[in-house]
A and B are shown apart, each in its own frame.
Chain A
């Protein structure tokens, strides 16, 4: 600090310019999501301009062949194509009682009920009928706890296989489950049908039992571990991963990832809890720097293993690096509404599985099909280009504006965390690209 400049107290990745971001000699061109390696002199020159003289920065970027011209216009949002994936909320009830659950105990704030078979069949028929032959659809069974609707799942899969087969449409299946009701024959069924199964678990035994009590209050970990054995035995025939919802009470992410990997999961994904219907369990304020530190620590574990050629279960960094490498500028944080809709037990479409029973995300019903006007409106209103909060952020095209459900119900409390995580991931991208470019699979 010999020059008397104040120390930089901003969090890592704090927004300086809307045009670009610099990290360890890497340049992210914000609008195109393109990443470049810079020579040191150029990096220093850009760093000096970043956030201080936007006009000069624009000129300097222009000299490098990068301008702020908007990327090619996004496809006409007026007529979104038919969805390619559907979440069937087969069971709007749950045998667990997690305090933070977006479905409020599975029933989405309404009465507990199971989806009638006619609704599931009609939803599948419409999904497949709207898909061109040769295409593919994805059907996800969600809840509540989907295994409360065991017969419906089997009947729906059978119907989808036949209907899709007749139209030469590939059908893929997915499920998010707490695994507490899973039977051995269910695991065989999931394996036979090539399911992608995501098991919700929040940590090792102690943490999980504290955060994920059974509806009667007992712990769930041992029960899950017992139930998982047949599923893990089939791991080669299905895609199995664990989903950890992170709350202020289970921020030791490296330990959680390690514990679940020991249990047999090859992939563990972390979801920070930002918006909980009860208000309990959501991350806030001071929790975010701790979350970032924990994620970074888990990321470093993953990097060490990957650079050494060993597998590692921490999925978030692998996903982030894959997305950074593709570098597709996003207008939306996810495929909800555009590619993906949820259907509830009443046969109503929702923006995604989180929006079931939520007036903010109603997208028509099965009788008339997904409402194109509602979908177009939602996409237009929620796209990151329409978010004033995001206009100045360098990460806008990577993040896409955040989870629609969280933003609509809790705002954007975690942006510093998101930028911090992406800042870290860009650095990791540079390191992995230098050390093991083959990891990205395209030479």
Chain B
């Protein structure tokens, strides 16, 4: 009320004094620090399981000793609660490798009379003392004219231990602790053991948790994911790392061969092993293998209730690489496949098979994208009759284009694998030559060059192409198999191959999404498809478009060549950057051009200038 005009009124009581605008009056006192300021408000401690149990760090707060922090039993305090000594042992404790006088003194004590005493009977932490402040881990009250010592329960003992500071000077031993035994009533008894030392540093100089903690020790106190309530652990998140969604099991994980051979691998939906299922789904439910729902509310009815998990956790499947498995897959190779056996074969496979494949797929998908109407082309009448059509078109085009772009990324990775191989085995393999587009000396006969509109059957073909266990997947599977078995290859090769292979699964799902999005218009494909036909290469606009494509390919080839050489030259590095940027610009221009032509029903004959494909 400092601004009260003319001091006509003067605040008297505390409420009036506090009522100034700068000091709002709260009807309730706010006690303590905000929760967010406390260390133990970290998510890992609020939801045990997300990281580890913070408290477990302090079981080894004092070098050479290990404690546990039992609480009060359901029957009430029985005198065993508090900080119990589990054992005293200096072996394996890195602190005792340090060369400070206090460490030597402590080692001497623990190896001598103090250690002898502590090895006999049950001991408890009695008091801690630091900087002249001493805290006994007891509530002390008077009872019938005698002092009654009630040991603090484990949680309180831990709170007190947590407050112990660590002085940055490693030579300074500023912590004294006392241990005592207790009588049957929980009263401290006998001769105390006093030890001088220092609070342990939990992290080493690199910020890693000290090696003194045994595997599993920091998570030992957490609840078990198998017997506990997942749902109530907030956020639907249980970080003991159970999967939310998994791929269903195939009867024989190695049966992908029959899929490839066109045989039905198992009765039922051949795509089922590739549908994402809810891992927590009720196994007894007739709808048990329906696709995982995308919302928690949607998923709940199909899942085990949290209480049921206690009884049914054995029914949950093991998950290997994202796929449920009832058994460890048997070893062995696919019957009709021949993984490459030598670096030369790998090189040839990449250069003559996989690089052309990626290039061809990128352009086939791009052509299909051009065949879908742009959302702006939807007329008001159509939009009234088909609400959501424009949004569906936008989604389908974006997804399809994203797969096409992803294939271009794969093309680059294939080239990276090639130049890594050439660099690693200079005597054995030819020097790197960029592989963008089908090699001039070999038109790959095994990949379809069909440019087709995104008709339902074409999308279905794309789905089949990218299916796990399908054609492309198996092309890379062979490569991955070979690279895995030969660790002498440069480290990045295997990862690149795995990445391309697992991207295929994403492509597969994207094409399934597109099929679902466009399904309502199946009977009237004109609603979503342009009347696109592949134009002759000399039709108006086509030479310019193909020139753009050629220029982009040339830029990419030169860019990749420069990048492969850039390890030794900054000039090559800048060339690589410039040419790849130029290639991108040309691809953007090609997109604009292609869109303009497609609106007129003209599809670019992307493969017309390939050797042996002279348009007739």
Contacts and interface: CB of A to CB of B under 8 A. Distances in A.
Contacts of B156: 133, 166-168
Interface string A313-330: 000000000001111110
Contacts of B4: 64-65
B148 interface: yes
A384 to B, nearest CB: 12
Contacts of B148: 161-162, 165
B139 interface: yes
Given A168-B156, A326-B13, A327-B14, A161 B143 contact: yes
Interface stretch (A70-78, A103-111, A351-359, A360-368): A70-78
Interface stretch (B22-30, B116-124, B175-183, B201-209): B22-30
B5 A168 contact: no
Contact of B27 (A41, A74, A121, A192): A74
B8 A159 contact: no
A27 interface: yes
B12 A42 contact: no
A56 interface: no
Interface in B9-36: 9-16, 19, 24-28
Given A33-B15, A72-B27, A166 B9 contact: no
> Which among A74, A121, A324, A328 has the greatest number of chain B C-beta atoms within 10 A?
A328
Contact of B72 (A27, A32, A73, A163): A163
A329 B25 CA distance: 10
A39 interface: yes
A74 B25 CA distance: 11
A159 B72 CA distance: 13
A35 B144 CA distance: 49
B307 interface: no
Given A38-B9, A71-B27, A192 B142 contact: yes
B153 A71 contact: no
Interface in B41-83: 72, 76-77, 81
A63 B4 CA distance: 9
A376 B150 CA distance: 36
Contact of B5 (A34, A64, A158): A64
Contacts of A32: 15-16, 19, 25
A326 B7 contact: no
Contact of A327 (B1, B16, B26, B144): B16
Nearest to B159: A133
A243 interface: no
B145 interface: yes
A328 B15 contact: yes
B152 interface: yes
Contacts of A26: 12
Interface residues of A, number: 47
A165 B150 contact: yes
A429 interface: yes
A166 B81 contact: yes
Given A164-B139, A165-B139, A34 B151 contact: no
A327 B13 contact: yes
Chain A facing B: main interface SS: mixed
Contacts of A167: 72, 152-153, 155-156
A158 B76 CA distance: 12
A380 to B, nearest CB: 15
A328 B27 contact: yes
B298 interface: no
A72 B152 CA distance: 39
A442 interface: yes
Interface in A10-59: 26-27, 29, 32-39, 41-42
A184 interface: no
A19 to B, nearest CB: 14
Report, as a range, how many residues of chain B touch the other chain: 35 or more
A71 B148 CA distance: 47
B544 interface: no
A242 B151 CA distance: 37
Contact of B13 (A35, A39, A63, A162): A35
A64 to B, nearest CB: 5
Interface in A64-113: 64-66, 71-75
Given A34-B11, A36-B12, A327-B15, A166 B26 contact: no
B141 interface: yes
A28 to B, nearest CB: 9
A218 interface: no
A125 B25 CA distance: 35
A299 B143 CA distance: 41
Contact of A429 (B12, B72, B138, B145): B12
B612 interface: no
Nearest to B72: A166
Contacts of A165: 77, 138-139, 141, 148, 150, 152
A433 interface: yes
Interface string A208-231: 000000000000000000000000
B426 interface: no
Given A161-B148, A166-B152, A36 B16 contact: yes
Nearest to B149: A165
A168 B152 contact: yes
A36 B15 contact: no
Nearest to B8: A42
Contacts of A35: 11-13, 15-16
Contact of B153 (A37, A73, A166, A328): A166
B72 A72 contact: no
Given A36-B11, A326-B13, A65 B27 contact: no
Contacts of A429: 12-13
Contacts of B332: none
A168 to B, nearest CB: 5
A326 B26 CA distance: 12
B445 interface: no
A72 B156 CA distance: 36
B3 interface: yes
Contacts of B11: 34-36
A65 B13 CA distance: 16
Nearest to A329: B27
Contacts of A38: 8-9
A430 to B, nearest CB: 8
A166 B28 contact: no
> Which among B8, B72, B148 has the greatest number of chain A C-beta atoms within 10 A?
B8
Contacts of B15: 32-35, 326-329
A168 B77 CA distance: 13
Interface in A386-403: none
A32 B148 CA distance: 47
A255 to B, nearest CB: 32
Nearest to B20: A65
Nearest to B1: A65
Contacts of B25: 32, 34, 71-72
Nearest to A321: B13
A159 B9 contact: no
A26 B11 CA distance: 10
B24 A166 contact: no
Given A74-B27, A161-B143, A162-B76, A34 B81 contact: no
A328 B19 CA distance: 11
A154 B378 CA distance: 85
Nearest to A128: B72
Contacts of B81: 166
A413 B150 CA distance: 50
6 contacts: A34-B11, A36-B16, A72-B27, A165-B139, A165-B150, A192-B145
Interface of B: 1, 3-5, 7-16, 19, 24-28, 72, 76-77, 81, 138-139, 141-145, 148, 150-153, 155-156, 159
Shortest 7 CB-CB distances between A and B: which pairs? A327-B15, A165-B139, A165-B150, A34-B16, A327-B13, A36-B9, A34-B15
Given A39-B7, A72-B26, 14 more contacts: A34-B15, A37-B10, A41-B8, A42-B8, A65-B3, A72-B27, A162-B150, A166-B150, A167-B153, A168-B156, A192-B142, A326-B13, A328-B27, A429-B13
